Amino acid sequence: TETERYLNGPLARATERTLTDPDQITLRLDLLRRCGYVWAFGEFDEGLNSVAAPIVDSQGTTVAALHLHGPAYRFPGPDAADAIGRLLRDTAAQLSIRVT
């Protein structure tokens, strides 16, 4: 699969927090499938947190992602990560309805 090919290739590290272990990435993908969104805390850029949710077509294939990011010192804010993630997931689902 495309995921297996990716995990078997060289995995570059952007920061010290970047996931490069295939098992950890697989667990993160499982979390994404369960929750419908996933957070990254300083994994792509120091001091930057982000959350993303998939946009899928009518076949259930991911065709895009809805993504938000902000400075780690205030995003997502105390106790707001789950609420922001759910809102992003629900918005991505609404966009998915429009994808043919």
Q: From the CB of residue 27, how many other CB atoms can be counted at a distance below 10 Å?
A: 12
Mean per-residue pLDDT, 87-91: 98
pLDDT tens readout for residues 22-78:
999 999 999 999 999 999 999 999 999 999 999 999 999 999 999 999 999 999 998
pTM score of the predicted model: 0.89
- Work out the end-to-end distance of the chain between its first and last CA atoms, rounded to an integer number of angstroms: 23
Q: Give residue 14's pLDDT.
A: 96
What pLDDT sits at residue 10?
93
Residue whose structure tokens are 């929750």:
35
Q: How confident is the model at residue 99 (pLDDT cuts 50, 70, 90)?
A: confident
Give the pLDDT confidence score for residue 78 in this predicted structure: 87
Cβ atoms of 19 and 6 within 8 Å: the answer is no
What's the token pair of residue 15?
A: 């920061």
